[in-house]
Amino acid sequence: MNHLSRCVFCSSTSYGRGCRYSTNGVHFHPDDSKKCSYCGSTSYGKGCRYSTNGVHIHGINYNSMLKERMEEVLTNKLLLTELKKPFTEFDAYRLGLINDKGNKLKEPITEEENMAMSPANRTLFQIKRFLGSKIELIENMEILENQKLLNFSVEKYEKILEYETKINKIFEDFHSLIHEAEQDNISFEILEALIK
């Protein structure tokens, strides 16, 4: 089923002039990346009779933007969670590949060992060693960024907390999925490819 683009001012599917609510009387469709937001043409460059500068302005695919933003948030949260874990909780430690400081003790040989020392995990270990105690500082900065939530009413803040709980549950499920995949010898890189 194709997405039906509508004018943000009057909800009409029409393009061009005829919008009763926009200041210039022109319909505006910012959600279709394949068409000019003003005239509906698939052309690029000059030639739009309705845009203020005569150039075709294509819309943005908001679904792709939302997906990219959610991937970014999820990746950042996952990275921060992994960075906070002690080295002793990683499979690489359990298998004797790294010590409790994250330093490599031996080269991986088996498939399980190679999974535990995947490129993503090696990079993570390097970042953890480099950052050390600064990881808590990064987390505290994130908490301070979120302090602006305190400006909301009690009711709104309670709603926000409900959503935070739901988001945390989704994240925990995702984290469990990654761990389960590692147990099945499916690397994070493969999962990352599936997400994209």
Question: Which of 113-117, 137-141, 160-164, 183-187 tops mean pLDDT?
Answer: 113-117
Contact assessment for residue 15 and residue 21, using Cβ atoms and an 8 Å cutoff? no
Q: Is residue 174 scored above 80 in pLDDT?
A: no
pLDDT band at 167 (very low <50, low <70, confident <90, very high): confident
The pair of three-digit structure tokens given for residue 105, joined into one six-digit string? 């003790």
Per-chain mean pLDDT for the chain: 80
Please give the average per-residue pLDDT across 155-180, as a whole number: 76
Element (H, E) at 125: helix 119-131
pLDDT in tens, 71-120: 676 677 777 788 888 899 999 999 999 999 989 999 999 988 988 998 88
State the pLDDT at residue 62: 53
Q: Is residue 188 scored above 90 in pLDDT?
A: no
Contact assessment for residue 102 and residue 127, using Cβ atoms and an 8 Å cutoff? no
DSSP conformation class of 36: B
For 154, list phi and psi in degrees, rounded to 5. -60, -45
* Strand, helix or coil for residue 25: coil
Domain segments of the chain: what residues? 1-60, 62-195
Q: How far apart are the first and last CA of the chain?
A: 22
The pair of three-digit structure tokens given for residue 8, joined into one six-digit string? 């943000």
* Strand, helix or coil for residue 168: helix
